[in-house]
């Protein structure tokens, strides 16, 4: 099938990828735009992984106040250059992440940040729960580890399903933005305020 300029343009508009990348993805997918999009996403996420080692010293701090002014979030997200920090795509991502923190109330950025005490407490809870459900003793540790993945999904921002598209994780959302913008992006920190919530972690 002939790969026309019109097809390339359509794919570019849908993905934000470069012209040559779009053309080669369309060749690989025999001109099928949805299939070419998948090819680009796979390559984008692969290239995003390569960029993840690069240092991020630029970025922005954004705030989000939930309607009703009962919940507010401050978040710092970093990238490699001031140029990318000023782009609409980057700022939209940061704002979406601030909304994610407001809605889903994560406690940590990534699973490596979860404290030993929080892990020990959760394992103990899940172990007691499994035993109470009558699971065989020799299966309990396996069951606990399986349930820990669900725990990470609840408490770690990067593991959570994205609130606007729950088939995508926050981590994959960030990776696709890395692929689009060509720079590493990392969430540095966030803080969530809720009126009347004075409990300290």
Domain boundaries, position 12: 5-51
Provide the pLDDT for residue 48. 60
**Which residues, 6+ apart, have CB-to-CB distance to 13 below 8 Å?**
none
Give percent above pLDDT 90 in the chain. Answer: 46
**Lowest-confidence segment of 28-37, 53-62, 141-150, 180-189 by average pLDDT:** 53-62
Same domain, 68 and 103: yes
Please tell me which residue, 169 or 45, carries the higher pLDDT value: 169
Same domain, 67 and 101: yes
Total domains in the fold of the chain: 3
Same domain, 163 and 105: yes
Same domain, 149 and 160: no
Provide the pLDDT for residue 46. 53
Same domain, 104 and 44: no
pLDDT digits (tens, 9 = 90+) for 104-143: 999 999 989 999 999 999 999 998 988 888 888 888 888 8
Same domain, 103 and 35: no
**Lowest-confidence segment of 39-48, 156-165, 174-183 by average pLDDT:** 39-48
**Is 200 within the bounds of a domain?**
no
Look up the CATH number of the domain holding residue 23: 1.10.8.10
Same domain, 161 and 150: no
């Amino acid at each position: 099938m002939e790969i026309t300029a019109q097809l390339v343009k359509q794919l570019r508009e849908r993905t934000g990828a470069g012209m040559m990348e779009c053309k080669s993805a369309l060749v690989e997918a025999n001109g099928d735009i949805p299939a070419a999009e998948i090819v680009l996403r796979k390559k984008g996420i692969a290239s995003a992984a390569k960029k993840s080692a690069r240092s991020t010293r630029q970025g922005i701090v954004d705030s989000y106040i939930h309607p009703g002014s009962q919940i507010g979030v401050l978040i710092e997200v970093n990238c490699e250059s001031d140029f990318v920090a000023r782009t609409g795509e980057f700022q939209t991502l940061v704002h979406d992440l601030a909304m994610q923190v407001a809605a889903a109330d994560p406690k940590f950025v990534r699973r490596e940040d979860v404290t030993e005490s929080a892990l020990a407490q959760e394992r103990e809870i899940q172990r007691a729960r499994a035993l109470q459900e009558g699971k065989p003793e020799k299966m309990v540790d396996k069951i606990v580890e399986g349930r820990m993945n669900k725990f990470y999904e609840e408490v770690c921002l990067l593991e959570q399903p994205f609130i606007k598209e729950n088939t995508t994780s926050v981590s994959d959302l960030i990776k696709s933005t890395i692929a689009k913008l060509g720079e590493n992006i990392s969430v540095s920190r966030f803080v969530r305020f809720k009126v009347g919530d004075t409990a300290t972690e």
